[in-house]
Amino acid sequence: MKKTYPLLLIFLIICILVFTSFKFLSSHYIDAYILLFSNLFLLLMSLISVKIQEKGFKNKNPNFFIRSVIGSMMMKMFAIVTVIVIYVFSSGANFNKRAVFISLIFYLFYLATEVFTVMKMNKKQNA
């Protein structure tokens, strides 16, 4: 559970920023609900990814860890692309490009935090 604290901290910071700047976002035609959904979705994807990579650390075979890292990255990328495609087709003319781009910036924050977390786990495993 301690491994997930940085991810949860990023989640809380983004939620607080979105909630406190709701009027600002709406005045700049950015859908805050899309930002909140993407924040929750990225948190869940990152938690699953860290769990998969943690299982890779526990295996004696180093190839298994490499496969777990690549597999978790592919899983996240396919899931993100799928959600974006579903949003594009379901929203039609109401597609909010700005919210999608901001959500991709959120992805970079989650990615950096996930890499930091996995590197900390790697030090503890004497790899």
| Distance from C-alpha of 126 to C-alpha of 51, rounded to nearest angstrom | 18
> What is the model's pLDDT at position 54?
86
Q: Give 11's contacts (C-beta < 8 A, 6+ positions apart).
A: 39, 40, 43
Whole-angstrom distance, CA of residue 57 vs CA of residue 31? 39
Q: What is the pTM of this model?
A: 0.89
Above 80 in pLDDT, residue 121? no
Residue 95 CB contacts under 8 Å (≥ 6 apart), including other chains: 87, 88
pLDDT in the model for residue 77: 92
What does the alpha-carbon distance between residue 77 and residue 83 come to, in Å, rounded to a whole number?
A: 10
Residues 40, 58: Cα–Cα separation, whole Å: 28
- Please compute the mean of the pLDDT values over residues 85-110 and round it to a whole number: 94
- What is the length of the chain? 127
Band of residue 83 on the pLDDT scale cut at 50, 70, 90: very high
CB 48 within 8 A of CB 75: yes
